[in-house]
Amino acid sequence: MVRKIKAKLVLQLRNQGLSGRAIASAQGIARNSVQSVLETADRLGLGWDDVEEMPEAEVYAALFPGRGVRESVFAQPDWGRVHTELARVGVTLKLLHQEYVDACGQALAVMSYDRFCRLYGDFAAVSGATSRVGHKAGRSIEVDWSGPTMQLLDPTTGEISKVYLFVACLPFSWYAFVEATLDMRQESWLRAHTAMFSFFGGSVPRLVPDNLKTGVISHPREGEVVLNDAYREMAAHYSAAVLPGRVRAPKDKASVENTVSHVATWVIAGLRHENFTSLPQLRARISEQIDAYNRQPFQKRDGSRLSVFTTEEKPLMKPLPAALFEISTWSYKRKVNKNAHVVWARNFYSVPFSHIGAHVDLRVTDTMLEVYRNDERLTSHLLLPTSTTNQHQTNDADLPEGRSFQAWDRTRIDEWAGRMGPATVTVISKIFEAASIEEAGYDPALAVLRLSRRFSPTRVEASCALALRGPIRSPRYAHLRPLLDTGQDKTGHVPDEPEADDGGYVRGGAYYAGGTR
């Protein structure tokens, strides 16, 4: 049968000088079939030069149009609609086949599910469209670091610094994003993700990273994946789950692996003749290159990465949260002090008093400090400036009723001194007068007042009165404690000061009158 003849091969062999009889003998084809091909080609004026670049099937169709084509007895679906619907979340070929069967009803013959799947595959192959069975639109983003790097040049010193490239790809549309960073640390990793979500203008349910420590702490063969806390928090902010690829299984994120190789061509090689002196300058040029890359038409598919993303994928992505994700630092197992405060960066932040003595975790952003115990957030504070030290940031709700847990100030100290007596008030006042700033007087003043915890307030008042009668202008703890320890406050006697000796050492008259030395 002519249907089985490779018509292009027959024309090629004739072009090489073989006769019809020789072609039939060499290929095991009936002479009449070979003759039919040659006569038809001559009649249509088709020679080897005309069909050399054509596929075999097209050559046969040109010589014998319509031969071998059979009309299907089955109702034909709208394959374009099938291809579009299959991109939607939860839509499968099984569901679409059932809808096709329901639409045909009893009036038309319907094809089986196997034939339906096979013909859809043929449609995708012939039309150049990527099959939707593997990836769904707006469902996942694959992320990774590029192996090849770039450079920044310091124009003053001539020093070269390395620049790393963060690469992200939507595997459905192959729409790509690239961000340049100065390192591959945790903060750079998170900031690159924040920039990526802003670039895409939407979020997806799945993030597929590699098993870097900035994202994944451990990925055992059995058991649950242990994620980095900051990375899990960032993904949760964008309503995404982190599903890392298997260890040493790059095919689990083949799209981004392929994009990384393209980035090496479009970005690194494309900009190899340019020198960059600042990171913003480099990022601007990378953005231009990636925009051109996303607009480049597909070779085996209609449209470009940008057009497929814009028309088919972006409408299916989830909207971004109203606020950008804040990069955070975690500090673990900080003990809550007895004054219901925890220390961070040499400042003090209050914690609910019921957690005194417990160990808490601190989450610190650029503007906030949050206190967690296990998974419960206990309290939050505005972060004090880095230039301040020994300052207290206190929420009144964190402390019990009463004054004992409140931060000390001049008013509280004066009230305490007033309850003890006027002499104590005078001593405290003299302490603050001698201090260069008010805060410097808190500690010595409290040291005097806390003597009432060891001795009675009456005795402390008496010792202050006794000390004020002496020569010390501003009595302090070091002057009052000996009076209390020796009980002088009870007798009211102030020790005499030794007489001043302004004349120096005098030898005596006998020395100058003679005699022996």
Which 3-state string (H, E, C) describes 287-324? HHHHHHHHHCECCCCCCEHHHHHHHHHHHHCECCCCCC
CA distance 173 to 137: 7
CA distance 176 to 296: 12
Q: What pLDDT shows up at residue 501? A: 45
Phi, psi dihedrals of residue 337, rounded to the nearest 5° = -70, 170
Contact, 312 vs 173, CB < 8 A?
yes
**How far is C-alpha 28 from the chain's CA centre?**
66
Is the pTM higher than 0.75? The answer reads: no
E-state strands within 228-373: 241-242, 329-335, 341-344, 347-350, 359-364, 368-373
DSSP assignment letter at 75: P
Q: What pLDDT shows up at residue 448? A: 92
CA distance 131 to 83: 8
Q: What pLDDT shows up at residue 273? A: 84
Instruction: Provide the b/e sequence for 256-284 (b: ≥16 CB within 10 Å).
Output: bbbbbebbbebbbebbeeeebeeeeebbe
Q: What pLDDT shows up at residue 404? A: 56
Q: Which residue from 9, 12, 33 is spatially nearest to 21, judged by alpha carbons?
A: 33
Q: Which residue from 261, 241, 56 is spatially nearest to 146, judged by alpha carbons?
A: 261
Q: Which residue from 4, 5, 277 is spatially nearest to 161, judged by alpha carbons?
A: 277
Q: What is the largest CA-CA distance in the chain?
A: 163
Q: What pLDDT shows up at residue 370? A: 93
CA distance 328 to 228: 12
DSSP assignment letter at 156: T
Per-residue pLDDT 10s for the chain (517 aa) are 344 577 777 888 788 777 878 777 777 778 888 888 888 888 888 888 787 777 777 777 777 775 655 556 678 888 878 877 776 655 778 778 888 888 887 777 888 888 888 888 777 765 555 554 456 777 888 888 888 888 898 888 888 999 999 988 888 888 899 999 998 888 888 899 999 999 999 998 888 887 676 666 554 554 455 667 778 888 888 888 887 765 554 544 455 566 677 777 778 878 888 889 899 999 999 999 999 988 988 876 778 889 989 988 888 888 999 888 888 788 889 999 888 889 998 899 999 988 989 999 998 888 899 999 988 899 999 998 888 888 888 887 887 765 555 667 888 899 999 999 999 999 999 999 988 888 788 889 999 999 998 999 999 999 999 999 888 888 999 999 999 998 888 876 555 544 444 444 455 555 555 544 4
Q: What pLDDT shows up at residue 514? A: 53
Residue whose tokens read 């014998």: 64
CA distance 155 to 314: 41
Residue ranges and CATH numbers for the domains of the chain are 7-63 (no CATH), 79-127 (no CATH), 140-299 (3.30.420.10), 329-384 (no CATH), 410-490 (no CATH)
